[in-house]
Amino acid sequence: MPVRLSALILVVTALGCSTPANDAASPEVVRAAPAADAVPAALVPDAAMACDMCDEWNVPRAPFKVFGNTYFVGTQGLSSVLITTAEGLVLIDVALPQSAPLIDANIRALGLKTTDIRYILTSHAHYDHLGGVRSMQRFTKATVLASPSTAQALGLGHPVPEDPQFGTGPTDVFPAITSGIWTMNDGEAVALGGTSVTAHHTPGHTPGATSWTWQSCEGTRCLNMVYADSLTPVSKDGYRYTDHAGLVDTFRATIRKVSALPCDVIISTHPSATGMDDKVAKRLAASVAPGATGDPFVDAESCKALAAVSMKNLDARVAGEAGR
């Protein structure tokens, strides 16, 4: 069983920064890292997923530092974020099954060992974000962290029945995982190497959607990092959000919650949702170092901006349902 402690957590990254974590809105319960076991010699991916967008999403992208001990190691259209610590690595999302080798290669390109991953954190239970989790867990022996609903879906190998996209077709599946999962409560944190990453349940897109926050530092400067789960009201054909009691109110509460998160840098599950390509291009064109003056990734209004767009989209969806 994991160790749980009630504590104030000091965020101490591998780069030597130490500042209080800024998640005071909800008390943290911290879990200590499990002991690392022997791992296989190489990552063996599960069968590739075929979907309309899979090839476009899975175009390789060079890894890069976002800020401090936070790195983007995902693909062109699907995010995967790596957090380095003195005691190992934390990985958030593993995209498609065929994305796992690309993520592995990106981690190694940074001079790091994929087998040093101790935790794999998850956002929501769809194939384009959890598809590569099983092969990555098999390779690294890492513990998978998920909300209760997402953990249930991982065991099933498909979304839970309450998911607006449940039953969309044969592509709406992913490799099931039945062991090595810790369920994370809202406001609960996992600690590794002095870094604390907090789970925020943000249901709406799926029942178990989870966003994550932590702090990354450069020297004495620390920024609040947010990995924001999807806030889009996407569903199977014929589904009506307004037919499900309380769902619209829950989704609106989630959007307000994301808007209020401590947020200097945001990364979304699909990079396009927060304009990552544009930020990367601007950073390169201006030769701006991560976190330096003018870095487009640093924007204290970024969570509010995503929330504002998301609320408009949800309102439009609700208004559209009223007309049919």
Q: What is the mean pLDDT of residues 229-233?
A: 98
pLDDT over 80 at 106, yes or no: yes
**Domain chopping of the chain, boundaries:** 8-40+55-322
Q: How confident is the model at residue 323 (pLDDT cuts 50, 70, 90)?
A: confident
User: Does the pLDDT of residue 28 top 60, yes or no?
Assistant: no
The least confident of 4-8, 176-180, 192-196 is 4-8
Catalytic residue annotation:
124, 126, 128-129, 205, 239, 270
Which of 17-31, 101-115, 179-193, 284-298 bottoms out in mean pLDDT, i.e. has the lowest? 17-31
pLDDT(24) > 70: no
Q: Of all residues in the chain, what percent carry a pLDDT higher than 90?
A: 84
Pairing state between β 195-201 and 265-268: unpaired
Statement: residue 201 has pLDDT above 60: yes
Residue 12 has pLDDT above 60, yes or no: no
Which pLDDT band, with edges at 50, 70 and 90, does 33 fall under?
low
Mean pLDDT of 272-294: 97
Q: For residues 21 and 112, which has the higher predicted lDDT (pLDDT)?
A: 112
pLDDT band at residue 38 using 50, 70 and 90 as cut-offs: low
Residue 172: per-residue pLDDT: 86
- Position with higher pLDDT, 40 vs 271: 271
Measured distance CA(309)–CA(165) in Å, rounded: 21
Residue 120, CA distances (Å) to 134, 161, 215, 218 in order = 10, 24, 17, 24
Architecture of the domain whose range is 8-40+55-322: 4-Layer Sandwich (3.60)
Condensed to tens digits (0 to 9), the pLDDT of residues 243-270 reads 999 999 999 999 999 999 999 999 999 9
Cα angle vertex 251, ends 196, 308, to 5°?
A: 80
* Statement: residue 79 has pLDDT above 80: yes
Residue-wise pLDDT tens digits, 44-68 = 999 999 999 999 999 999 999 999 9
Q: What is the pLDDT of residues 161-173, one digit of tens each?
A: 999 999 987 778 9
